[in-house]
Structures are given as C-alpha cells and as structure tokens.
Structure 1
Amino acid sequence: MEKKVKVIILLLVVLVLAGLATHMFLTPSTVETVGSKNVTDMIGRNVEMPASVSNVVATSPPMTTVLYMIVPDKLKAVNFQWTDEEMEYVPSQYQNLPVVGGWYGTQDGSYEEFIASEPDVVIESIDEGGDGDASTVKERQEKFGTIPVIAVKDTTNVEKIGESITFMGEVVGAQDKAQQLNDFNKRYLDIVHDKSSKLSDSDKVKVYYAQGDDGLQTNPSHSTHGQLIDLVGGVNVADSAAQGNTTSGVQVSMEQVISWNPDKIITNDPEFYAKVYSDSNWGKIDAVKNHEVYLSPQSPFKWFDRPVGANMIIGVPWTAKVLYPDDYRDINMMDATKEFYSNFYHFDLSDDQAKDILLGSGLKEENL
C-alpha cells in the first residue's frame, strides 16, 4: 500500500513539472522576452526595447526638452549646451550632461558620442509621415546598432503635442508626469481657445515677431515659430511677406516694419530687446512708442520658440497676457510660472525670481 502511495505521489510531481514546462514554452511570456517588450512606434515600426528604461537620449532639442520635463533623471545627454543665463534655472545635477549634438538645424550629431552615453533607447523625431522619415529612422537604427530607435511624431505644434508626450511617457515609464504636463497644457489651451474665438476683427492686435539682433527677420502666420501669435488671436503683420513660406524665416526691411506699424512686438533676442527703445528707426513704430515690446523669457528654455516644442506650453498664457492683458486677468502668471518651473523644470522659484522673469519679459506688474 505504501509503495502504491509513493507511486501516485511521484506521478503527481511529474504531472506538475510537465504542466510548468508547457506553460513556460507555450505562453507569450516566454523566458526569451523577460526584460524586454515590444512597442509600436509612431510610424508603425515594431521595436523590441527594454521593459524598463533607465537611460535615454533624443536626437533633437524638442524631444530632449520633453524628456527633461518628464524624466530628467533618465536623460543622459543634451543636444546643445545651456548658456550661463539658462543654467541659472537648471538644478545642479543636470548642469553637466554631455552635449552630443543632434540631427535638426545644425546636423552635428555624433553617433559615437550618443552611444557613449549608453542609452537604453534613442528617441528620434519625425514629421507627420512620409518615406523620408522612415528612411531616416532606418538609417539611425543601422548606425545605433542594437540600441532601439523609437520614432516619435513631431512635437513642434503646441496644440497637437499631447499624443507625443503621452507616447514618450509610456516609453520611458513616466506616464503620470506626461499626463501632468498635458493637463497643464490643456488648461491654458482651453482658456485661449475660448477667448480668442470671441475676438472680433476690430479687437485683434497687430503683432510683429522680431528675430535676430537687428529685429529684421520674422515668421509669418502658420509657421511653427510664430504659432503662439496665431493661437491667441493676434494678427501677424508679416503675412504679406510670406510668399508661400511658412516654415522658415523671412528677411524684411525697416521700411516694411514701419509701414506695418504693429501694436505689439515680440522677440526672442535679448540684444534686440536691449536697444529697441533707443533706436530712432524703431521709435517710429506704435509698439515702441507705447512701450509694447516683449522679450520671451529665456531660461532654461525659451518660452516662445527655439526650440519649438513643449517649452512653449508656458508660452501660451504668457503670449495671451502680452497681447490681451485685460481679457486674461483671470490668469495669474506668477502662479502659472512657479507651477510650471516646479513641476517640469524641477526648480522651485521664489516669488522674487518668478517676478523677475516676468517683469524682465516686458509684462507690466499690474498684468502679472
């Protein structure tokens, strides 16, 4: 009898072990996939990547900016060096990240330096579809070898950026932070969409976007660089100079700007801003006469553009306050600035620091 019981127990053990073996080899969670997962990137490529990402780099500033906002401790390199002024609002642990260039306006990326930063994945920016994008991603993947390259849709349109932020959050394991950034963006987009839709043509202000240290380069409507003017309902005076060009800047003359006579001027160039009020030619323009010239805050990323990307999210309420301060009195720019810097630039501003940033941009204290 005892022998019979032992045989039965042995048979049961064999059956259990056989069941385990069958489970291991026939279910999707095989030993071969432990530590990795498959993702479909934003051009439809199936990419095998680590199940958990610890190190990440991106090939262009807009993507790097998003990564810095949602997962700074995993970002292992940047595309360009912060200036001393920009560094003022960068926490010390991120100030010495390697500069590896990238493939955007400068086309100065170094594959060797990217690889030396030991990324688990590389984020590659792509436009809205096209064979050129697919071929570029293929080339990147070949150059990066076994390091997975994840293609992410262009993040240069502040109204469409949410999908890419969400996807990047999923890739790097920062879903909650990505959602927080999207929620902040949606809050102010909703306000601006509502108010701008109610503007009559006679209420709209004429705006000139001055680029370069002489202020004579600009972008017309529907360009990525001037999109915040369009968004909040301003009239971009440079439309007549577009000549079908909405993607890159155009050169204009002083005479043209004087003839346009904008109500307000926005610039990203501190040199231009520093001298515009003392220049007799610019002094002929109403915006200058009325002290309505505004400098986009610069640090650690510019709020208006350059790069065009998630850094412009805080530029939405700022541009609204610049163009239509009376309509946006319900927006507290002090609170918005401190919230954005704390949550996404990982830097807690004092009241004085926030006020210095805003007053330094040309906003009047009563409009903060």
Structure 2
Amino acid sequence: MTKKRILWLLFSAIFLFFLFKIYDSPERENTNIKESTRTITDMKGRTFQVADPIRRIALLGGPTGQVAFILGVQDRLCAVTNTLKMSKLIREIYPDIKELPGPRTTSGNINIEELISSNPDIVISGDIDGGIVLEKTRIPVAFLEDSMGEGIEDIKKEIRFYGYVFQTLERAEKYIKYLEKTISLVKERTHDIPAKKRKKVFQGFSPSHLITLGGDTFMQERIEQAGCINAAKTVITIGKRTGLHSGLGEVSMEQVLEWNPDILVINYGKPKDLYNHPQWKNIKAVQNKKIHAQPAGVFIFNRPTAESAVIFPLWLASLAYPDRFEDICVPCLVKEFYRKIFDFDLNDQQAMDILLGIYEIRMMKGIKNRG
C-alpha cells in the first residue's frame, strides 16, 4: 500500500469520526427536537403545524397576556404587548417582564422586525394583529375569538384552547373550576333578590363618565351574575369604531339622569369629585355615596378577561348587597385566587389596590408618561 493511499485512508477515517460526533452531539439532538412538530387547530378552525414542544410564545392580544401566568408558562414568553409590560401588578410580581420585547402597542400596530427578532414558535392574537403577522412573516399564528361579547362560556373555551396549545390542560381546568366555584358563591347569595330590589349599576368611563359598556357586551352577564341590573342594558356598542374601542359607547347626561343608577362605577378621577358636581348631584348613587372605582389587576376590568370574570361579580355583589356578604372577606378571596391560580402571593395592600382600581390608575399614568 502506497504512502499516499495510507494518508488518504487516515484522512477519511478522521473525517468520518468527526462527522459521526457532529450527528451524535447534543446540539444535533436539540435540532431534532426543534424540528419536531404537531398539528393544532386554532379558535377560527385553521389547522397548521407548530414546533413541539412550543418553547417561545408571543402573545399579542391585550387582555390575554395574563393567561400565560394562569397556565404557568410565563417563562416561555418571548414577546408580549406593551400594555402587559406596563402592568404594575405584573412588574411587581414578575420583574422579568421588563426585559421582554413589546412589538405590539395597540391593535394593528406591530413592529414586525422586533417580533421576528424575538424568534417565536407561535403567535397568538386576534384577527387584526394575526392577519398582519401572517401577511408579513412565516411565523405560525393561532387566532382567538376576540369579541367584547365574550361571556363566561367563551372564557372557558379560550382557557381550554390555551391549555391545549401549551399542553397545560390541568392548569386550564383548575382555573375553570375556580371560576365556576366563585360564580356559584355569588349566585347563591343573590339569586332570591326580588327584581324591584336589585341595584341598578352604571359604568361611567373616561373623564366625562359618559362612556359605558352596552348590554350586548360581556359586562351585561357580569352585572347580572352579581345580582344587579345594567343601567345601559339597551345600549348597543359592539362594532362601534367612532374613536372608541368596540364595546364602548357614549351616552348623554340626560340618559344617565333618567336611569338614576344606585351604583356608579368609574375609572377616572375620584368619587369625591362627583359628590358636589352640579350635573351629577341629583343621581341616587351620588347622593348615597355609592361611587366606586373600577377594579383592575394584571389588566383593566373593562375587557372580557379571565381575571375579571372571577373578581368583578364578587366585588360588585359584595358592594351592592353588603349584608349578604358580611361573613366573606373579599380581599382574602382575591389573595386566594391569585395564589391558587396565578401562583402569586399578594400582600394585603396589593389585594386592596386591585379592588380599589389603583392598578388601573397606575397603568394609565404609565401610558401617558410614555407619550
């Protein structure tokens, strides 16, 4: 055998050795895992392939960021909305949220380059944002049923969908059982209240307090679950786009005076600002000092979120009928909810800040400060 042939065989052996090592290395194993896929169907009935397992999640729906914490997959988040990043409660409990990209500001406004750089395995969003991502990238998109008309059954369906996508069905069912338990508690305490004695509630948002949620929104169900009456039941607001978020509509002061609500829920200013206001002073809620700030936690409660579905009816019912809830510590139940469902150990002040709407005030200040 010639020397030249021996050298060639030696070179070939070394080459094959290193080639085998490369294909047998952990990096190669990880590549195989990354290339593994499964087929999922989103809430619009679209079927497509995603990485299996899903390790990097971009949640681009405003109210839905909280679902990652409910299902315990917050460590898989690679991109979120700017609104979630500005959530004071999230920043207090999960400071790492500040380091995540926030490519989605408002509906339809997405920084595509920032989203691509976050390298998500999947994007979950509503119609408008998801459509943009599909058009401009190759990232798999799962569409949600994002409507202001979402009721409790829709919330359950959405949570189960997330549980299916992230393979955390046990956590999803844990939330649903807690939701059903809380609603049953509230209904048990309020179901026998005669129609004529049920409290009428008006939600007056914005600085004017004349923006409200209509009877065709999720809030109709929330108020009824609390044993109350929605003063704005006849107002139709879903689909309106006159400078307002879908589900919100403007009413006149004359209409509010005619409704004469027993309870007024606001999300701007302080209750004392209305007690001596000439336009509002003749309303029953003002005269009886039954003005309350809208609660807010991870997200504002004037959107159909999984968080508000549990807390809002309990909060409202306890304020409307305190004698029927005098044996219940509502702040204690709020702490229990976040501990059992979010794995958040709130302190007493944080629980009260949720119920008093402090987190919405802080969020709105953050939005203004960012311009």
What pairs up with 1:1-368 in 2 under 5 angstroms? 35-70=36-71, 71-81=73-83, 82-83=85-86, 85-86=88-89, 89-101=92-104, 106-125=107-126, 140-145=133-138, 147-154=139-146, 157-160=150-153, 161-242=155-236, 248-267=247-266, 269-271=267-269, 273=271, 275-302=273-300, 304-305=301-302, 307-313=303-309, 314-329=311-326, 331-358=328-355
Residue 69 of structure 1, CA deviation:
2.9
Provide the rounded CA distance (Å) in 2 between the counterparts of 1:33 and 1:83. Answer: 32
Corresponding letter in the other structure for 1:290: N
Give the SS at the match of 1:349. coil
TM-score under structure 1 normalisation?
A: 0.75
Q: Kindly indicate whether the alpha-carbon contact (under 8 Å) linking 1:63 and 1:155 is maintained by their aligned counterparts in 2.
A: no
Provide the rounded CA distance (Å) in 2 between the counterparts of 1:359 and 1:217. Answer: 20
Provide the rounded CA distance (Å) in 1 between the counterparts of 2:201 and 2:239. Answer: 18
Provide the rounded CA distance (Å) in 1 between the counterparts of 2:70 and 2:229. Answer: 31
Provide the rounded CA distance (Å) in 1 between the counterparts of 2:51 and 2:357. Answer: 44
Q: Kindly indicate whether the alpha-carbon contact (under 8 Å) linking 2:213 and 2:237 is maintained by their aligned counterparts in 1.
A: no
User: Residues 239 and 358 from structure 1, CA distance in 2 versus in 1: closer, same or farther, beyond 3 angstroms?
Assistant: closer
User: Residues 112 and 316 from structure 1, CA distance in 2 versus in 1: closer, same or farther, beyond 3 angstroms?
Assistant: farther
Residue 337 of structure 1, CA deviation:
0.9
Residue 338 of structure 1, CA deviation:
0.6
Residue 346 of structure 1, CA deviation:
4.3
Give the SS at the match of 1:270. coil
More displaced stretch, 55-64 vs 248-257? 248-257
User: Residues 221 and 272 from structure 1, CA distance in 2 versus in 1: closer, same or farther, beyond 3 angstroms?
Assistant: farther
User: Residues 202 and 158 from structure 1, CA distance in 2 versus in 1: closer, same or farther, beyond 3 angstroms?
Assistant: same
Q: Which residue of 2 aligns with 1:12?
A: none
Residue 201 of structure 1, CA deviation:
1.2
| Unmatched tracts of structure 1, length 5 or more | 1-30, 127-132, 362-368
TM-score under structure 2 normalisation?
A: 0.74
User: Residues 356 and 119 from structure 1, CA distance in 2 versus in 1: closer, same or farther, beyond 3 angstroms?
Assistant: closer
Corresponding letter in the other structure for 2:39: N
More displaced stretch, 339-348 vs 59-68? 339-348
Provide the rounded CA distance (Å) in 1 between the counterparts of 2:67 and 2:192. Answer: 32
| Unmatched tracts of structure 2, length 5 or more | 1-31, 241-245, 359-371
Q: Which residue of 1 aligns with 2:7?
A: none
Structure 1 segments of 4 or more deviating over 6 A?
31-34, 243-246
Provide the rounded CA distance (Å) in 1 between the counterparts of 2:39 and 2:88. Answer: 41
Q: Kindly indicate whether the alpha-carbon contact (under 8 Å) linking 2:202 and 2:231 is maintained by their aligned counterparts in 1.
A: yes
User: Residues 274 and 120 from structure 1, CA distance in 2 versus in 1: closer, same or farther, beyond 3 angstroms?
Assistant: farther
1:107-130 deviations in Å (ceiling 9; x for gaps): 21222222221111111335xxxx
Determine what percentage of the aligned residue pairs are the same residue.
27
Q: Kindly indicate whether the alpha-carbon contact (under 8 Å) linking 2:238 and 2:247 is maintained by their aligned counterparts in 1.
A: no
More displaced stretch, 291-300 vs 203-212? 291-300
Residue 142 of structure 1, CA deviation:
4.0
Give the SS at the match of 1:308. coil
Corresponding letter in the other structure for 2:140: P
Query: Cα RMSD over matched residues?
Result: 3.1
Give the SS at the match of 1:43. coil
Aligned length: 317
Provide the rounded CA distance (Å) in 2 between the counterparts of 1:47 and 1:108. Answer: 25
Q: Which residue of 2 aligns with 1:15?
A: none
Corresponding letter in the other structure for 2:136: K
Give the SS at the match of 2:178. helix
Give the SS at the match of 2:143. strand
